[in-house]
Structure 1
Amino acid sequence: MAHALSVLLHVGAISAMTYGLHGLGLSSWIATQYGGHFQYLTIQGRIRAIKRTLFIAAMPIATVVSSIYWTLLLTFPHLILQALPESPDSPMVLPLRVDLSLHAVPAISLLLDFMVFERKYGRSASLSAVPITVFCTVWYGWWVELCASKNGTFPYPFLTLNPLETRIGIYAGACIVACISFYGLNALHPKSR
């Protein structure tokens, strides 16, 4: 029964995220940008190819992405919603069902998967959380800086509006929150099955 529920969760999450990606309707514009869809942290937060090892990074990154995205969207939307070049005064607002599938489903599905179907990380595996998260943060920081140097703007206005020193602080802060998130979620993991 647990295996069937796990499969159902994964199929449902993949279906919802695929729907969101196709529902964007911006693929042609994004495809013209250096880095395409891969310049957005939302895409990076879905890394799951080598699940157990990369789960250490994917789960807290997805959690941080969702937390930052929804906080900024609800409080300071101008810092997260990018305007298209042809209409610079009106930011891209995604339909709610597309937005949820891109910016909520990844974190929710990874959290459910971890809490219900995965086992808690032991001490030795937990020690790798910091270097893995730092590596992912440095890689994404380098990548988004490269994309912005080619595109002339960052995929998120809050990065475009800040100088390099502040952006480095943002990357470092997100890295720290991701590490804390991993250790906190691992500590909350149910001890018995």
Structure 2
Amino acid sequence: MIIQGTETLTSIIHIFSESLLTPVVVLLVVSGVIIILALGGLINEYISRKPISSNDLENLVRRISFSNNVDQMKSEITNSNLFNYQKEILIRIANNYDIGCDARKAFASELISAEETILIKKTNKTDILVRVGPSLGLLGTLIPLGPGLAALGTGDIATLAQSLTIAFDTTVTGLTIGALAFVVSKYKKQWYEAELIDVETLAETELEVINNW
């Protein structure tokens, strides 16, 4: 009785495992398309992006420091080599020069935190694929091995060869997706962290200058 129950459960698990192969392959294909698009986006962003240099940042800090009024400060920011979202944050801080010191500092911190959240979301997909890609590859490796080993026991070399082919293909695909996703996330996070540091530096400069007016 116990043996029959175990065999029934084993059969259910086997059927469930076999049914996962098609969804795993489909998810690998979808993940492959996503990572190809993400890699293309990374290359395009690398070519088109022109971050502010350290010398330009230093000069901008000095120009903001010697601003006599909010219009001059906003003009220096607008004419700088900053990205548009960086300019928007700094101009919004400058526009609120007339509120209290603590409120202005809290507002600046909130603006930067909100932008940081937006930038983090841009790497969510690739962050997920770093883990999911190899996991799908492993599933695609193990699932066909069951039928393959069963075919080996009956001498069905053709079925074994087909199962091993699927296993190797899914493994390579999953690992490649994970590796590329890691590269995309790594570079984008480095860029965004550097940009946010620039914004924080300039925002602190703004707040100090405004407090002294």
Mark yes or no: TM-score above 0.5.
Answer: no
Point out the structure with the larger helix share.
Answer: 2
For normalisation by structure 2, the TM-score amounts to: 0.27
Larger Rg: 2
